[in-house]
Amino acid sequence: SSELTQSPSVSVSPGQTARITCSGDALSIQYTHWFQQKPGQAPILVIYKDTERPSGIPERFSGSSSGTTVTLTISGVQAEDEADYYCQSEDSDGNSVLFGGGTKLTV
């Protein structure tokens, strides 16, 4: 399959937990990475290889994977986390990069 599916929007109150999911057939065999994008800015990597957090990214960001669905979890959401979030992976052959449609997180 050549698609990654994200829900268009998630809304949470400050301090709550936000969960953003990404689904696709290839996700069971390919790594997934997550990006945060704020208006007017280039995307920033917040999770890579399903569960790894780059240096400088707050511990409240975490990732998990189960079968063909991966999840970005933001615990104790802060107002500064309001942004668009995109998942990125590859097709099952590894020949095409795929992006999810993006999820707008409203805090």
Q: Which residues bind another protein (CB under 8 A)?
A: 2, 30-31, 33, 35, 37, 42-43, 45, 48-49, 84, 86, 88-90, 94-102
Pick 35 or 61: Cβ nearer another protein = 35
Q: What is the CA radius of gyration of the chain?
A: 13
Q: Do 96 and 75 touch, CB atoms closer than 8 A?
A: no
CB of 79: closest distance to another protein in angstroms?
A: 22
What CA–CA distance (Å, rounded) separates 49 from 89?
9
CB of 13: closest distance to another protein in angstroms?
A: 26
CB of 31: closest distance to another protein in angstroms?
A: 5
For residue 7, the one-letter residue type is S
What CA–CA distance (Å, rounded) separates 13 from 30?
32
Pick 9 or 17: Cβ nearer another protein = 9
| Pair of tokens at residue 9 | 């929007």
CB of 98: closest distance to another protein in angstroms?
A: 7
| Pair of tokens at residue 107 | 């805090």
| Pair of tokens at residue 64 | 């998990």
